[in-house]
Structure 1
Amino acid sequence: MLSKLLFVRINQRSMIMCYRYKFMSIFFLTLVAPISFAENIVVPKVKYNYVSFSSISDKNELKTHTVAAKLSVPINVKRAPVIIIAHGSGGIDERGYKYSKSFNDANIATLEIDMWAARGLDGGLSRPKHVKETLPDIYGAVKYLTSRSDIDTDRIGFIGFSWGGVLAMLIANDTNVLSHNLTALIANYPVCWAYNKIPGYDFKEVKPNKSLLVISGGHDEYDDPQDCANLIDFLPQDSKLRTKHIHFDDATHAFELPRPSSSFFDPYAFKGKGGLVSISYNKKATDVSVTKAVSFMKDKIVNRSVISQRH
């Protein structure tokens, strides 16, 4: 009996000590935790919103669509300049994210649009018949951006990859009033052989209020290595002065995609003969391309300069 009483008392003391230890631990953590938590807080630099808007068509035969997009706005800029990002035939991928992040880091907002979901398309060869059919998406994006108080509507740029690059080339000499807002354009590997040859793909000037940067690769199997340079050489002199060209000798089509090397079929490859287009990631060319794109946009829509000499 005595041993049982001693055991109970020892247990009671152990429990009391245990509760005291737990209480002190909780009290200590209550004091320390807020300080530790505060030290680990990362203040976001960009606000992300998933938005939608209607495409705008100036032709009755084209249907309007509800276009989805990701809007990324740096929070430390009162009215941010903005870049519209247009994907290639494959749809939204890593390229848009990489360029968007770099623009955001430079305090430039981005609107990355999805042209395929609005049409129920899968990408690749599941795409519209003509790139012009997607111009209404860009017009709708411009109108949407002009409605936002956190966007500087006088500083809107555009960058596109492949299909989106073709859009940039078409916008460069487009007469639509909403195209006038797009003053800085970047066309990444925009299938240079096709312009002024295939109906509807006209590229005969760069409008006076616009600046254009064309990025091409020497191993792009849509074009011959000199096709983009030759296309620019045929422009009127004043348009040449508003155009810049960067060429990577060892870059393929879509060279920024950080994936294993692959290929896909396109009837527009090999100057319209059709065939398999090779894609190979080129980190060096990607880093230079992104850096040059950010520098171009900072110069043209942040500082609002105009290309004054041939590069």
Structure 2
Amino acid sequence: MYNLKIDYAEGAHPAILDQLLQTNFIQQNGYGIDEYTIKAKAILREKMNKEDAELFFVSGGTQANLLVISFLLRPHEAVISANTGHIYANETGAIEATGHKVIPIESKDGKLTPTQIKQTLVTFQLRPHVVKPKVVYISNTTEIGSVYTERELQDLSVFCKAEGLLLFMDGARLGHALTAPKNDLSLVRIAELVDVFYIGATKNGALFGEAIVFPNPQMAVDFDYNLKQKGALFAKGRVLGIQFLALFEEDLYFKLAKEANEMAMKLAQAFEEKGYSFLVEPSSNQIFPILPVPLIQRLQEKFDFYVWKPINTEYAAVRIITSWTTDDLMLDVFISMLNE
């Protein structure tokens, strides 16, 4: 059974394992003040053109979302999310467990617009009887593979500033967003437009790890307390720092994400040539073709993937996801089964 269900089915890129091995017996300080972490942060600041940005390395995406949102919100405040957003649909109520409401917005493409958020704000005006929306949570790529354009992100940024809202971007698959065929954003531009974001590595070659970024250091004052209090400050912080150093020193991060996207586009083209449609337009390494149920069952004999959403009794949308290590020959087998 070949895995097209997740993009972290393997361990880590050999370059990361090599650096972990080569530095294994070199003594370093703990808690993220080792030389590797310091250097990795310097490289990321340079790539973002934000010399004073504050960065914090943590283990995973749910942890990053929990840490950031719980830090940004006062007790009576809430976060707005697309109904497909990870904090709403996939994190076991992690945000609610901190005492904060997640306000969902119905979204067909996984993205949010100022108009949608404005309509939501109108329904939360009965002060002090309702929570106060304060953070807007978006993902890039979204949970259904779509990608924000620069114009879309700029419009959100302007709107949020005007409304006194904070804009937070989940970047669990940010590498895939920034190397998507139609992408026109950059790390530099994202750092200019959002209040907080993170750079996900777990799903792009690392053993684990996300880099939380506060472009404005004033927003990160005392965040280290939150990190420690919630059990997210690694004693062996070097393990995270080394991974980001290996991924960004020579832009391996973007190379791996681009390879994953190219594998997905290969499959998307094959589906299109067979006349199949998609739940959302293929944009990155997650694609959602709508297939006949008998074909899905036949493909599942050799490939593992999610049946995402039933369309009717005859068709369903599935999620196919590719990674930096997806086997091109296995994709040829998959494509050949479309013709059987």
Same structural fold, with TM-score higher than 0.5 when normalized by the shorter chain: no
More strand by share: 1
TM-score, reference length from structure 1: 0.34
TM-score, reference length from structure 2: 0.32
Highest Rg: 1 or 2? 1
